[in-house]
Amino acid sequence: MTRWFLAAAVLCSAFPAALWASAPAQQRFREAADLARSGDYPKALAVYREQAVSGQESASLYWNWAQAAAARGAQGEALWALLRARELSPGDGAVSREIARLREGLNLDAAEVSPEPLAALGRFSRRFHLGTLGLLAAAFSLAFHLLGRLTPTRRWPFAVAAASLTLCLLLTALPLAAAWARPTAVVLRRGAPLLDAASATAQQLAALREGEVAPVLETSQGFLRIEDSSGARGWTAVEDLRRLDRPPGP
């Protein structure tokens, strides 16, 4: 009894602590919105970045980040923020419509912002919680298999168990396949150079398009090796790109 009481006390004390911990983040979020409304976009963007780096990521954060970046004229950064919001909230129709609007403004094809089909499969899986549904199907399969063991004269529990296991395999196959998607990064500025080596003095192979999403093939100190929409491969400085598979760096 004492053990249960102590566990309950810990949970009750942790809950208000979590609320207090989120209060400063909410205050900073409101401060950033006020800065953006007053036209101080650089400071607003700095606050949004600070929150993302500290783990306070959300689709709302990146939506506001995109609006501030677009107002500042940084269309590539705005598109990155919206694409990051879509990663966190794949079913948000407003985010998808804004991505399409901004993509058209940058004269990019749909394929140029979604070069990895497996990444789209991952978003589909997250939107409909296929991984969770697969685990539930596995639990059903196990439960009905045990029921069949306990009632050997009945054959239907084994049939249900087999069907549930098949459904589990189908549901989990999509998230597993999506895990093979290559990481991608968004080009932040127009004309960012694609170089033949991971060096600022390397020969330029091509100029990248602002907002273009490129698969990341390799990393080196200060550079990413990518593949652009034409199929050309080369190196680009990290400050000209921002990855979609992780929050921005500090």
Average pLDDT of the chain, as a whole number: 89
Position 119 confidence tier, pLDDT thresholds 50, 70, 90: very high
Give dist(CA 244, CA 235) in Å, integer.
17
Give dist(CA 157, CA 149) in Å, integer.
9
> DSSP 3-state assignment of 222?
coil
Give the residue among 216, 137, 120 at the shortest CA–CA distance from 174: 120
Give dist(CA 188, CA 226) in Å, integer.
14
Q: What is the mean pLDDT of residues 4-15?
A: 36
What is residue 14's predicted lDDT score, i.e. its pLDDT? 40
Ranges 3-12, 66-75, 81-90, 133-142: which has the least confidence: 3-12
Q: What is the mean pLDDT of residues 202-224?
A: 95
Position 155 confidence tier, pLDDT thresholds 50, 70, 90: confident
What is residue 153's predicted lDDT score, i.e. its pLDDT? 85
217: Cβ–Cβ under 8 A, 6 or more apart, which residues?
A: 182, 225, 226, 227, 233
**For residues 27 and 19, which has the higher predicted lDDT (pLDDT)?**
27
Residue-wise pLDDT for 232-245, tens only, equals 999 999 999 999 99
The single-letter DSSP state of residue 250 is -
Please name every residue paired with 242 in a beta bridge, in sequence order, or none if there are none. Answer: 186
In the chain, the percentage of residues whose pLDDT exceeds 70 is 91
Q: What is the mean pLDDT of residues 173-183?
A: 91
3-class SS letters over 90-132: CCCHHHHHHHHHHHHHCCCCHHHHCCCHHHHHHHHHHHCCHHH
Adjacency order of strands within the sheet including 184-187? 204-207, 193-195, 233-237, 223-227, 213-220, 184-187, 241-243
- Token readout for 129 is 């919680």
Task: Give Rg (Cα) of the chain.
Answer: 23
Residue 1 has pLDDT above 80, yes or no: no
